[in-house]
Structure formats: structure tokens, C-alpha cells
Amino acid sequence: MKLTGRTILITGGSNGIGLAFAKKFLELGNDVIITGRDQAKLDAAATAHPKLVTIRSDAGDPAAVAALAKELKDKHPKLDVLFNNAGIMVYRNLATGGDADALVSEIDINLSGPIRLVAGLIDVIKANKGTIINVSSGLAFVPLQAAPVYCATKAAMHSYTISLRQQLADHGVEVIELMPPAVKTDLAPVPDDDNVKVITTDQLVDLTFKALERGKAEIRPGQANGLRFMSRVAPNFIAGQLAKGSKALIPRS
């Protein structure tokens, strides 16, 4: 992937992983646009990094995604990198039922949002021979029982990204998948397990950029690569280990 001279949109870029990547891309001289739902966080990011362009948008709202796509095409016609990063992770107890709308909210944000945004921006991305980066997770390979909907969305994103890459190959569009391991962010607490190696956002960015420089299409930093390997050679064992490690995180009600 060409890492300089790009016009980049990063969804969910006001904090965490998204903001860490936004800062790195800015350092390399790119034009960077970030979105987020929290205006205060967007304002804070813009204050700390004045070259950032911020747009308030909700990845889970179809109307907001459509408006975002229109604004980008109107005001940023050189857009050539779409970095689908926005996402939420919620620990859930499926045995208690729960509100159906709340249960599918992760699907709306983590899966439907990126699919809608790709559809809305595909013309400009193709015209600019651009790059799409979809953030899934190492948990796309082995689910964490405490986060059943989140893991399902990431498995679906992995499958979708493979098909997207295949269909856009003849259009000169590069499609990359980033599959982070456990990262220290505000997304959700990770299992209290000595076997889980949590990395920082800076470490994730460093590992990812090294892979981008090598032209990797599927990037599995740290333990994400181990999860993929174990899902193939010992699927029942690794699924059982993650189930045990995350059981205490399941809400009681």
C-alpha cells in the first residue's frame, strides 16, 4: 500500500485504534478525515491534531452513512483510502434474552455500516484506484463466548472482505483486512488471563505499518495470527480455552 500522498477516511477515528492510525497517517503527510459519534471526542482530537478533518457520523445509522458518503464525494473528491474502523463490543448473556434492537446494534455498526459505506463510496474509490482497509479481529477465527454478536460480526467482515477483494481486483482497488489481537483501548475489558497478551495502540500501528510496507493483504498482528493457526490445527482446544477465559465476563442478567 502506498502510505503517503493519500486522502484517507477513518471511521471511529476520534479515539483508540482509529485515532492512533490517524496520527500516524498525518505524520506521513496524508490528508486525514475522521468520523465519530461523540462530538466532544472529535473536538478534542481536532484540538490536539489541527490538520485532522472531523465529521460527526454514526456508522450504525443508514441515513447518516448515506449523508457521510455524499459529503465526502462533494468535498473530498480525491478520497482514495477508506479505513472502516468504527465498531463496538458488548459482553452479552444470550440466555437471558434481552432487547432485540440492542442485540443487533453491533451488527448495525460493525457490519452493516462498513458495507453501506463501501457501497456509497465505491465509485470514487474505483475512480481514484484507491484502497479499502476493513478492521475485523483475531476473534473472527475463534469466538469469545462473552461477546457472541461482536465475534459474529467480525467473522462476517472477514468473509465479506475476501469477496470484496476478489470483486475489486480487476478495478485496481486494493482491499486489506486488519485483524487486531487484544488491544488496550476503551472498547471492552479483555479476559483476565495470563495467556492473553494485550498490546498498545502504538504497537498495533507499528506492526500494521510494517505489514503494509510489505504489501500484506491480510494483517494478523501478534496473537491474532496464533488464533488463526490454532483454529486450524486444534479448533476445539482453542475454542474451549477462550470460552473458559471469558466466562466470568458474561453479564449475570
Classify each residue of 87-107 as buried b or exposed e, where b means 16 or more C-beta atoms within 10 Å of its C-beta. bbbbbbeeeeeeeeeeeeebb
193: Cβ contacts below 8 Å, ≥ 6 apart: 245
Burial class (CB in 10 A: 0-12, 13-18, 19+), 49: middle
Give the DSSP H/E element, type plus range, for residue 36.
Answer: strand 31-36
Exactly one of 21, 25, 83, 150 is catalytic; name it.
150
- CA distances 150 to 2, 17, 57, 75, 213, Å, are 31, 17, 21, 33, 29
Among this protein's residues, is 150 annotated catalytic? yes
228: Cβ contacts below 8 Å, ≥ 6 apart: 138, 141, 179, 220
Tell me the catalytic residues.
Answer: 150
